[in-house]
Amino acid sequence: MKLIKTDSYEKLSRQAANILSAQVILKPRSVLGLATGSSPIGTYRQLINWYNKGDLDFSQVTTVNLDEYCGLAADNPQSYRYFMNTNFFDHINIDKNRTHVPNGLNPDMEAECHRYDALIESLGGIDLQLLGIGHNGHIGFNEPKGSFEKTTHIVDLKPSTIEANARFFESIDEVPKRAITMGIKSIMNAKKIILIANGQDKKEIVKRAFFGPVTPEVPASILQLHPDLTVICNVD
């Protein structure tokens, strides 16, 4: 594991964007695994900046997002598809047909899980996965539990996650209670992983996840076993 400590959100975002842009430059047909949430917004902003300067070309890139809420349509401003479009895809020259987010509206969610795993496999897996981390150690929506869930699955969100995400909604009652998320196996199969942890309030979980025992009670702790993990944080 490589741990990069920075002293500002801007520097953290720049470090993450550096690694992502190197990936795209070295392999224009990269498959990028992407995350939503507040942490990667600065990274996407930095990549858009470099794209606008003519330094990056996303025309051959494919993306697969980690997760989506169940029951939210793509044009719902709280959906992760909408987040990705407005924070990243709408501002770069990526082919939207190559951008993938689980479909939270599929009436058969089991089928949707299988479809998403098959899609990732058909793409040859993920070259570089960008992750955030929840205060309870979740990655994607892989919440703490008794065992690691390997494949794409449906989760009942923990009250702490619903509470943390309520900041993006009008009221806590509007936060969906279920989500679809990529499993630990697809994440761990990524050739390279970057995890960003922004802010002092992530200090405790960073310590537990990367300097404590590997346990499904702290899902991110499994990343300690990944051969190419970079953790970028601005906690002391």
CA–CA dist 177, 162 (Å, integer): 7
* Site for ligand F6R contains 219 (CB under 6 A): no
What's the DSSP call for residue 40?
T
Shortest Å distance, C-beta 88 to ligand F6R = 12
Size of site (CB under 6 A) for ligand F6R: 13
CA–CA dist 11, 17 (Å, integer): 10
* Site for ligand F6R contains 176 (CB under 6 A): no
Find out whether 231 and 1 touch, Cβ atoms under 8 Å: yes
Give the strand pairing for 178-181 and 67-69. Answer: antiparallel
Catalytic (active site) residue 136: yes
Burial of 186 (0-12, 13-18, 19+ CB in 10 A): buried
**Residue listed under structure tokens 């990524």:** 190
Contact segment (CB under 6 A) with ligand F6R among 6-14, 33-41, 101-109, 116-124 equals 33-41
What count of other Cβ atoms lies within 10 Å of the Cβ of residue 96? 11
* DSSP secondary structure, 125-190, as one string: S-SEEEE---TT--BTTB-S-SS---S-EEEEPPHHHHHHHGGGSSSGGGS-SEEEE--HHHHHHS
**Per-position x/- string for 136-165, each x denoting binding to ligand F6R as judged by CB under 6 A, each - no binding:** --xxx-------------------------
Closer by beta carbon to ligand F6R, 94 or else 195: 195
Closer by beta carbon to ligand F6R, 60 or else 160: 160
Shortest Å distance, C-beta 144 to ligand F6R = 12
* Site for ligand F6R contains 104 (CB under 6 A): no
Catalytic residue, from 18, 76, 87, 136: name it.
Answer: 136
Closer by beta carbon to ligand F6R, 12 or else 139: 139
Shortest Å distance, C-beta 209 to ligand F6R = 12
- Counting Cα atoms < 13 Å in the Cβ hemisphere of 87 gives 21
Closest residue to ligand F6R, judged by C-beta, is 132
Closer by beta carbon to ligand F6R, 28 or else 85: 85
- Residues identified as active-site: 67, 136, 138, 143
Using CB under 6 A, list all residues that contact ligand F6R: 35-39, 66-67, 132-134, 138-140
